[in-house]
Structure 1
Amino acid sequence: MKTSGKFILFFFFIFIFVFFSYNSSQSFLGFFKILPEDKEIELGNLYLPASLDEFEGSYPEEKVQEYIQTIGKKLARNSTRKVPYQFHLVNSGVVNAFALPGGPVVITRGIFLTLEDEDELAGILAHEIGHIERRHHARFVEKQLALNVLLQIGSLFLPQNLSGELLFQLGRVSAELLSLKFSRDQEREADEEGFILLLKTGYSPEGMLKVFERFKKMEKKRPPEWISTHPLPETRIKDWQERMETFKPSGAFIKGSSRFVEIKNMLLSTQSSFEECQKGKKAFGEKDFSTAEKYFLKALELYPKNVPALLYLAKLNLREKNYSSARDYAFQALKFNPELFSAHYLCGLSEFALNNYERSVAYFEKAKKIIPFEGSSYYYAGRNYEKLGNLQKAKSNYQKALEIGPKNAPWYEDCNRRYQRLR
């Protein structure tokens, strides 16, 4: 090879090295997608249970969930990406909505109650779909996790087949996804996608403009949580107005519907129960447990399906060593949210305290499948297996609990002692 050819080849390799070194922190954004779509979908499904649990479980009325699914899927039919979009309304009273990689979209009871018409609901959902369309969450995951980690995720891998180190990394990213803050460019992109989706589906884009303006007013007093993760500078409102001027949407656009009114009235009918529950949570945080219990019981009196109140009553009864009552409250929560991690976890703790080790370990095994990156589930599964005489399973669960952590957890030192004894 001629000398000039060698220099060209040398500089080519230098360019490749610098390019990939620079873009390793960017996950090759704008050039490559390192996360295949099927893995993105699997990650979204993996993180969804933790998200539902963080926001106090799914609102336990089938009519409400069906309505959210109907509006969401009507919009998704006009999306570019054909991922399995799914839509959930959760019990939390915070004013928020968010999406996850590959299709899940979650809105809170709190944000729904701020809305006045169906076009506003459609605007919120379309915006969250827009983030998925532009792969904003997938790009974040690509930055946070190594490629070899991403490729290990799959429907054929059960949680017990994954290493504790991998589960630790997945858990760290799960927590960060729920508080993910988008850049102005990402918000603009999601707005662009959402605007087009609304037009294609026949919804008035005026609804989202009303949402923006309402949230902007709320920002001066008590900013909605949605703004903390979805910045709302004046330019976003201006850009939306300019899109409306450019496209000049006209015709028989959907604005409101009797179905929206019916669903909002259903949510309003349980609002007093959730307000009592909120008072109970405040008292619980202040360690005024007797007052907290009164609020939670009042919440159940007003709405027996109040899952957050049931979970807190289970915690209170565990604290007071009323283990049967704790189990009954947690089990009642499971009736309304069968896949709720916290309910399985509290049932497991209650049964363990009652020396019902086989029942307890079944709850913790289920909890591990729902959220596989929660270390304490493995610790308590290990405790149960140790009581049942299955020392090999006890040891493997203790090992995974130690790998996942966190190391400052109250159970961690005991877990380490038990693991060392069984080695």
Structure 2
Amino acid sequence: MRQTLILLLSFVFLYGCAVNPVTGKNELALVSESQEINIGRENYVPSRQMQGGDYTVNPELSAYVNEVGQKLAAVSDRKLPYEFTVLNNSTPNAWALPGGKLAINRGLLLELNSEAELAAVLGHEIVHAAARHGAQQMERGMMLQGALIATSIATQSNEYGNLVVGGAQVAAGLINTKYGRDDELEADYYGMQYMARAGYDPMAAVKLQETFVRLNENRSHNWLAGLFASHPPSMARVEANRATAASLPTGGKVGKITYEERLASLVKDKKAYDSYAKGREALEKGDTNKALAYAQEAIGVEPREGHFYALRGDVRYKEKRYNEALADYDRAIELNSNYFYYYLQRGLTRKQMNLTAESYADLQQSTKLLPTATAYNSLGELELSSGSSQRAKQYFTEAASSTSPAGRQARAALLRLDFPRYAGEYIHIQISLNNDGYVLARINNQAPLGIKDLQLTIQYPDTSGKTLQTTRRFRAVIPAGQSYDTNLNLGPYADAAILNAIRIQITSAVLMEK
């Protein structure tokens, strides 16, 4: 306890207190502003990639959202390099990274009714960044750990959260930050202040929160998985927003007609995205015919959306129609050349077609946008097939940190590469004497895969004390995590102390594929 106190006091001494630029309160600041900005900048791309990538079908809509966001940022209490991006994701959600990097899903845009409501959402997220809410969450974690590890990783460095590896794992944690009640009330209060300063009607924030409370009561899955998971609505927030609105000027801009005009194309495409979602669900269930029909339907409504071609490509990939799948991924990349998934799937397709160099290039490009276990595991397999086991191990090691199937495959591949050399780390042998004085061996397989054809070299003393050497081979399969008992036919010995003189070396063993 005393050491912990000393550590905390050392943090205070080293980093001191800072004045929160939004609230004006003194608070401990373990993460500097430059670190916040670096964290946001380094994690903005992977955060967007793992949430569906940027929405590119209608650049004018993204420009509009950025325009509204910059109006609010201009009147905020903290000057940061703010950025606002629309993500190609149907789940209603919005988030802010430290340092002013913000995103809003197209799914949430469809649920808003006016520009003022959009300003309410963006203003709220601006406060999370400006008031250091995300940084404070990191600081709390650092205090619990008693170290600055999390920050050092982030400064160096969902839909696909369980697939990401390396520095992108930091991004996965940041965009899933869950804010406490005080942070939410604070973001509501100052967000409404920014709305008023920028000329918007703050009552839009009240109406929006009332809508959120109703939706939360209906327990809509999309909302529970999205905005409400990190920004829980409540009547307490509604009442607090009403009190705040009463203290602010009335008659600000609502912008209902303007918003409807700007959202018109997205509203028109909603049916296509609904078909896409149904197609994904059908494909996950293995119904390729239904998935293909939904993909065709979506493409018919909006032929400029790369996700729809990727879905059709995934159907054809699953059906092993690789040439057709390749054409679909090509088209997806033509429409949006900055989304990791299209390159990943095209790389996997080319791998199946034995287009090794092209597959390698695509998989590498996908990792530049978002490092995933799937890509690294496949790169490892390509390197292994070309005879470069050392480079293969590097890629497998990158993938192995993931809990996904690709991560498990990479760990198994590493095991196979290391097993001949380090079999003794996975196979433990215990010896004892039976009642007749003969040596028994219990062979424990601690590898995650089964083993067979185990061969042992044994040095042992005979009954006269002379050291002899022999071999034993066991063809039996020893499953992962299990043991095998056998009589080594050495002896008989009168005293168990003789076991200390027996040396057993694993000469060879074969690792099972599954």
User: Structure 1-normalised TM-score?
Assistant: 0.84
Q: Check if 1:73 corresponds to 2:62.
A: no
* 2:228 corresponds to: 227
* 1:162 corresponds to: none
The Cα offsets for residues 326-358 of structure 1, whole Å up to 9 and x where unpaired, read as 222223222333221211211211121122222
* 2:245 corresponds to: 244
Matches within 5 A, 1:313-324: 313-324=312-323
Q: CA deviation at 1:118?
A: 0.6
The amino acid across from 1:237 in the alignment is V
Q: Is the 8 A contact 1:98 1:107 kept in 2?
A: yes
* 1:290 corresponds to: 289
RMSD between superposed Cα atoms in Å: 3.0
* 1:207 corresponds to: 204
The amino acid across from 1:397 in the alignment is Y
Matches within 5 A, 1:14-413: 16-17=5-6, 19-20=8-9, 31-60=27-56, 61-144=58-141, 146-151=147-152, 153-154=154-155, 170-223=167-220, 224=223, 225-247=226-248, 249-251=249-251, 253-256=252-255, 258-372=257-371, 374-402=372-400, 404-406=401-403, 409-413=407-411
The amino acid across from 2:137 in the alignment is F
> 1:382, 1:90 → 2: CA distance?
31
Q: CA deviation at 1:260?
A: 2.0
* 1:163 corresponds to: none
Indicate the structure with greater helix content.
1
Q: CA deviation at 1:280?
A: 1.3
SS of match in other structure, 2:28: coil
> 2:356, 2:314 → 1: CA distance?
19
Moved over 6 A (4+): 27-30
Q: Is the 8 A contact 2:114 2:257 kept in 1?
A: no
Q: CA deviation at 1:16?
A: 4.5
- Unpaired runs of 5+ residues, structure 1, are 1-10, 160-166
The Cα offsets for residues 17-68 of structure 1, whole Å up to 9 and x where unpaired, read as 2745999xxx999743222333323322333334333432222211111111
The amino acid across from 2:128 in the alignment is H
Which structure has the greater CA radius of gyration?
2
* 2:504 corresponds to: none
* Greater RCO, CA 8 A, separation 6+: 1
SS of match in other structure, 1:399: helix
The Cα offsets for residues 185-221 of structure 1, whole Å up to 9 and x where unpaired, read as 0101111221111112111101111111122222222
Range with bigger deviation, 168-177 or 126-135: 168-177
Q: Is the 8 A contact 1:358 1:384 kept in 2?
A: no
Q: Is the 8 A contact 1:122 1:203 kept in 2?
A: yes
Work out the percentage of aligned pairs sharing the same amino acid.
Answer: 26
The Cα offsets for residues 226-257 of structure 1, whole Å up to 9 and x where unpaired, read as 2232111111111111112223x135x22106
Q: CA deviation at 1:86?
A: 1.1
Q: Is the 8 A contact 1:127 1:190 kept in 2?
A: yes
SS of match in other structure, 1:128: helix
Q: Is the 8 A contact 1:212 1:237 kept in 2?
A: yes
Indicate the structure with greater strand content.
2
SS of match in other structure, 1:384: helix
